[in-house]
Copies of this chain bind each other. A is one copy, B any other.
Amino acid sequence: MLNIQNLKVSFGDKEVLKGVDLTVNKGDVVTFIGPSGTGKTTILKCINYLVEPDEGQMQLLDVSADFKNINKKEILQLRRNTAMVFQQFNLFKNKTVVENVMDAQITVQKKSKKEAYEKSIDLLEKVGLLEKENEYPSRLSGGQQQRVSIARALAVEPEVILFDEPTSSLDPELVAEVLKVIESVAKTGVTILLVTHEMSFARKVSNKIVFMEKGKIVEEGSPEQIFENSQNERTKQFLKNYYAEAAEMMEATQ
């Protein structure tokens, strides 16, 4: 349902994505892992055209676009089929928590206020933020902002959700909660693209892992393939620290 060919992005004269190809099926949970600054965020932002690629084609559901001459209608369609949780949250500063979650439902999906409100309250309860309903984002702690941002993306029930490090500010309890939420969403057939650096989270949540480095996809496969049978030296090295940690943990909790 999502198909990307030869995606290239540069900022100024710096090439950040150097020809990425990717195929994702409906209901997949695809996780991007890789070193900092390799272009993981950039890939997600190309899918909803927040970053303008230099080259490449993409098919998403019934939208089929060449990035070189994509038109406004296609862009709007792409964006309405997707929702994104940003690495820096980007909550609407002028709206309260519940308004943040409601707004796109009302504005984009033309839902009634009541309907949008009920859905929002429901989601805020799921992420444990009911009591902050009427707070403005600037008054929230990091983890609280991140959870609002997740609720906001889920609220529009998109075909594809793009999560950019959705658990970076969350403690293990909440990570487990978010994991549950993502799993339940994935079960309804929603496709999920995710960037994370928490390997155990990646392993549990995804059915496909993509390892990137320096603007290229180095290896992709099932979590078992990547985490246990990686054929690629660079991948192995990247995961070395993860193995070491796991080993240590083993020791400690034995």
Contact = CB atoms under 8 A, between A and B. Distances in A.
A218 to B, nearest CB: 14
Contact of A172 (B165, B169, B238): B238
Interface stretch (A32-40, A50-58, A66-74): A32-40
A41 interface: yes
A233 interface: no
Interface stretch (A76-84, A138-146, A182-190): A138-146
Interface stretch (A19-27, A97-105, A151-159, A199-207): A199-207
B143 A36 contact: yes
Interface in A188-245: 197-200, 203-204, 227-228, 237-245
Contacts of A247: 253
A142 B165 contact: yes
A199 B170 contact: no
B170 A169 contact: no
A176 interface: yes
Contacts of A244: 176
A181 to B, nearest CB: 14
Given A172-B197, A173-B238, A228-B252, A37 B143 contact: yes
A171 interface: yes
Given A88-B142, A142-B41, A142-B87, A172 B199 contact: yes
B245 A172 contact: yes
Interface residues of A, number: 51
A147 interface: yes
25 contacts: A33-B171, A35-B171, A36-B143, A36-B144, A37-B141, A41-B142, A88-B88, A142-B168, A168-B168, A169-B197, A171-B238, A172-B199, A172-B238, A172-B239, A172-B241, A172-B245, A173-B238, A200-B248, A200-B249, A204-B248, A246-B249, A246-B252, A246-B253, A249-B250, A250-B253
